[in-house]
Chain A
Amino acid sequence: MLDEKNLQKPLEEREDIIEVKNLNKWFGKHHVLKDVDVNVKQGEVVVILGPSGSGKSTFIRTINALEEFQKGEIIVDEINLSNDVSNIEAIRKETGMVFQQFNLFPHMTILKNITLAPIWVRKWKREKAEQVAMELLERVGIPEQAHKYPGQLSGGQQQRVAIARALAMQPRIMLFDEPTSALDPEMIKEVLDVMKTLARSGMTMLVVTHEMNFAREVADRIILFDDGEIIEEGTPTELFDNPKHERTKMFLSQIL
């Protein structure tokens, strides 16, 4: 296990928390991930950009085994993600995931949504789980919604609950799969603000997004996907102001 002192060091000297080597995935005959190599250091914020269908969502979904892969190796927090079920469950305890469609459980109150996994997977006492849940709701700014149901909340509030729910398992890594794409424009900011605070707290984050300002402001590194492979990676300044690859330039010209 990586220790917390690791976070004191500058980014380059820290140890890797995610190692992806030579990752290949096919949907049927369709080759969706081609020899992807990514290492992420502890506390690093990596933003993944790319046109739709480029495999970026599929990539972060393989990291917590929501998608299978056929070739290559993924090591998360020193756990090798093979098809061994116990390893899959161990990795899922270490990684939190936030989805585009929030995927809150509509039949449970907000508090129940957040405490479900801590109580049954981490085996916490209900009081402890609820206390942690309330602290997290405080952090994302909506403690007063604790006893409502997801359907009674706005999209932005639901996504903040989803972040709190993932954080309640005390993961070492957070994966975000287009967390603001399903939101109305006026709600995007409240979710991004929560993510920014999280990034500054030292959480390791992998974020698939189309929010360029967020990427520029928060990312330590940006990875650009196209057609299942990594085209280019670098710091926001390198990538946005001085793109090297033709396809990067084209992608940026289309969205900026």
Chain B
Amino acid sequence: MPHMSSQANLQQPQKRAETPPPKTSVGVIGWLRQNLFSSWANSLLTVIVGTAAFFLLKAIFTWVFFGAEWHVVSNELNFLLIGRYPEEEVWRIWTLLLFFHALLGLSWGFGKGIMNSIAYTIGGLLFISMLLPFIEMSTRIWIIANLATLISFFFIGHKFPKVKKITFVGWFLSFPIVIFFINGLGILPNVSTNLWGGFMLNILLAVVAIVCSFPLGILLALGRRSKLPIVKYFCVIYIEVIRGIPLITVLFMAKFMLPLFTGGIEVDEVVGAMVALTMFSAAYMAENVRGGLQSLPRGQFEASQALGLNSTYTTVFVVLPQALKAVIPAIVGQYIAIFKDTTLVLIIGLLDILEIGLSMIAKPEYIGLDMEVLVFGAVVFFIFCYLMAHVSRRLEKSLSVGNR
């Protein structure tokens, strides 16, 4: 009989019913027990750190809401954000922002996913600044207009996915449009670069450095692996020289040495800083990309070659997409670093947000308010850097579909 029963079991294999995990390992209590109070040493540590965190948070809270004198920031908000940009031309910056919020809204509409977090952050910033009590009425109207543009273009992008092409063209043309609006280019009244400043300058420098160093860095990385010795050694020397020089030195060189190469023609200081930051960032970008190229198995090159794809196609379709994906965290880290490094341009006399903040602290009416100004600057940078880091994680996730 035992033989019979085992055969019956074979014919109708019975799966064991799934049982729930023990109660102590799930829920809030389970989590607390597992993570905070798993042993007496751990419990002690939890209590000490908890107490310290409480007092720290309390101190910060008290200072932010009762101790700090924020009027230094609210009075000088325009100065911090756009520097000495002439007041009667500020509408140009607002119009630019409208343009970007329209583009962002459209991309958000059909893009979803990654665009979500960007749009929520920007929208949130707009919403909060709209509610600030101390801003002027005209500013408030501009902010509301921007928020409305963002949201309405989201619905347009959502409803008509065909606007994709227009949106891409828009992003592509955005740089000349920015320069046109901020500078005027002779059509609008000219606002020379020495009036560009504040956080706007930081963003401009960072965006130019990021956008330009991306292709440049890829070319340098590919060049470094080239079989042509001249190309290869040019790239190696460029990368190693730039990586061996502090950014401050590169900035000074851009200011004082670039005119020597241009035959005495004065190079605009902002343009010089853009070139310096781009060159600097490109060298690091190249090394990041090279890391990605090296992580690719040889079989990928061979498979592509065996299919008859030439080296350009192999690079564009097979190698770069995988190599870049592998180093997204490193690339975004580099971008965050270069964004923060834009504050260094104060040493060549540009009025970025940090320089303006420092000059305000030096004013007699704001004596003793250094903390407020610096904290404001820190928060502004943190929001944008964190957004970049967050987007990078989202990007990684969305690209890891069906990973090896």
Q: Point out residues on A near B: beta carbons under 8 Å.
A: 64, 66, 89, 92-93, 95-97, 99, 101, 103-107, 116-117, 120-121, 148-152, 162, 165-166, 169
**Contact in complex: A105, B306 (CB < 8 Å):** no
Residues of B within 8 Å of A101, CB to CB, are 297, 299
Residues of B within 8 Å of A117, CB to CB, are 307-309
Chain B residue nearest to A90 (CB atoms) is B308
Residues of B within 8 Å of A97, CB to CB, are 303, 306
Known: A89-B310, A117-B308, A120-B313. A103 touches B402 (CB 8 A): no
Cβ of B225 under 8 Å from chain A: no
**Contact in complex: A149, B307 (CB < 8 Å):** no
**Contact in complex: A116, B317 (CB < 8 Å):** yes
- Bound-complex Cα distance A89 to B304 (A): 12
Cβ of B43 under 8 Å from chain A: no
Q: Mark B360-404, 1 if CB is under 8 A from A, else 0.
A: 000000000000000000000000000000000000000101111
Chain A residue nearest to B298 (CB atoms) is A103
17 contacts between A and B (CB under 8 A): A64-B306, A92-B307, A97-B306, A99-B303, A101-B297, A103-B302, A103-B303, A104-B303, A106-B322, A106-B404, A107-B322, A116-B307, A116-B309, A120-B309, A121-B307, A151-B402, A169-B307
Residues of B within 8 Å of A148, CB to CB, are 402
Residues of A within 8 Å of B402, CB to CB, are 106, 148-152
Cβ of B77 under 8 Å from chain A: no
- Bound-complex Cα distance A202 to B43 (A): 74
B 251-293 contacts with A by CB, 8 A: none
Q: Mark B318-335, 1 if CB is under 8 A from A, else 0.
A: 100110010000000000
Cβ of B305 under 8 Å from chain A: yes
The 7 closest A-B pairs by CB, nearest first: A149-B402, A103-B303, A117-B307, A103-B299, A97-B306, A151-B402, A92-B308
Residues of B within 8 Å of A121, CB to CB, are 307-310, 313
Residues of A within 8 Å of B307, CB to CB, are 92, 96, 116-117, 121, 165-166, 169
Shortest Cβ distance from B297 into chain A, in angstroms?
8
- The residue from B303, B309, B321 contacting A107, defined by CB atoms under 8 A apart: B321
Chain B residue nearest to A106 (CB atoms) is B404
Q: Mark B182-217, 1 if CB is under 8 A from A, else 0.
A: 000000000000000000000000000000000000
Residues of A within 8 Å of B302, CB to CB, are 66, 99, 103
**Contact in complex: B313, A103 (CB < 8 Å):** no
- Bound-complex Cα distance A63 to B140 (A): 72
Known: A99-B299, A105-B300, A106-B322. A92 touches B403 (CB 8 A): no
- Bound-complex Cα distance A70 to B401 (A): 43
Residues of A within 8 Å of B304, CB to CB, are 105
- Bound-complex Cα distance A166 to B302 (A): 13
Residues of B within 8 Å of A89, CB to CB, are 308, 310
Residues of A within 8 Å of B297, CB to CB, are 101, 103
- Bound-complex Cα distance A64 to B306 (A): 7
- Bound-complex Cα distance A189 to B16 (A): 32
- Bound-complex Cα distance A150 to B307 (A): 17
Given A99-B303, A149-B401; 18 other pairs, CB 8 A cutoff: A66-B305, A92-B305, A92-B308, A96-B306, A96-B307, A101-B297, A103-B297, A103-B303, A105-B300, A105-B303, A105-B304, A105-B318, A107-B325, A107-B399, A121-B308, A148-B402, A150-B402, A169-B308
- Looking at B303, B322, B325, the one whose CB has the most chain A CB atoms below 10 A away is B303
- Bound-complex Cα distance A97 to B302 (A): 10
Chain A residue nearest to B299 (CB atoms) is A103
The size class of the interface chain B forms with chain A is 20 to 34
Residues of A within 8 Å of B399, CB to CB, are 107
Shortest Cβ distance from A126 into chain B, in angstroms?
14
- Bound-complex Cα distance A66 to B58 (A): 67
Chain B residue nearest to A151 (CB atoms) is B402
Shortest Cβ distance from B337 into chain A, in angstroms?
27
- Bound-complex Cα distance A92 to B401 (A): 31
- Bound-complex Cα distance A121 to B300 (A): 17
Shortest Cβ distance from B229 into chain A, in angstroms?
18
- Bound-complex Cα distance A152 to B402 (A): 6
Chain B residue nearest to A88 (CB atoms) is B305
Chain B residue nearest to A152 (CB atoms) is B402
Shortest Cβ distance from A123 into chain B, in angstroms?
12
Known: A120-B313, A149-B402. A103 touches B300 (CB 8 A): yes
Chain A residue nearest to B302 (CB atoms) is A66
**Contact in complex: B305, A106 (CB < 8 Å):** no
- Bound-complex Cα distance A99 to B300 (A): 10
- Bound-complex Cα distance A24 to B377 (A): 69
- Bound-complex Cα distance A101 to B297 (A): 10
- Bound-complex Cα distance A99 to B304 (A): 12
Shortest Cβ distance from A86 into chain B, in angstroms?
10
- Bound-complex Cα distance A162 to B302 (A): 13
Shortest Cβ distance from A103 into chain B, in angstroms?
4
Shortest Cβ distance from A214 into chain B, in angstroms?
22
Shortest Cβ distance from B161 into chain A, in angstroms?
19
- Bound-complex Cα distance A103 to B404 (A): 11
**Contact in complex: B309, A106 (CB < 8 Å):** no
Shortest Cβ distance from B173 into chain A, in angstroms?
28
- Bound-complex Cα distance A6 to B322 (A): 43
Chain B residue nearest to A101 (CB atoms) is B299
Known: A89-B308, A92-B308, A121-B313. A106 touches B403 (CB 8 A): yes
Residues of A within 8 Å of B321, CB to CB, are 107
Shortest Cβ distance from B398 into chain A, in angstroms?
12
Residues of B within 8 Å of A107, CB to CB, are 321-322, 325, 399
- Bound-complex Cα distance A101 to B401 (A): 20
- Bound-complex Cα distance A75 to B325 (A): 40
Residues of A within 8 Å of B403, CB to CB, are 106, 149, 151
- The residue from A64, A95, A151 contacting B404, defined by CB atoms under 8 A apart: A151
- Bound-complex Cα distance A116 to B305 (A): 12
Residues of B within 8 Å of A149, CB to CB, are 401-403
- Bound-complex Cα distance A75 to B109 (A): 56
- Bound-complex Cα distance A66 to B303 (A): 10
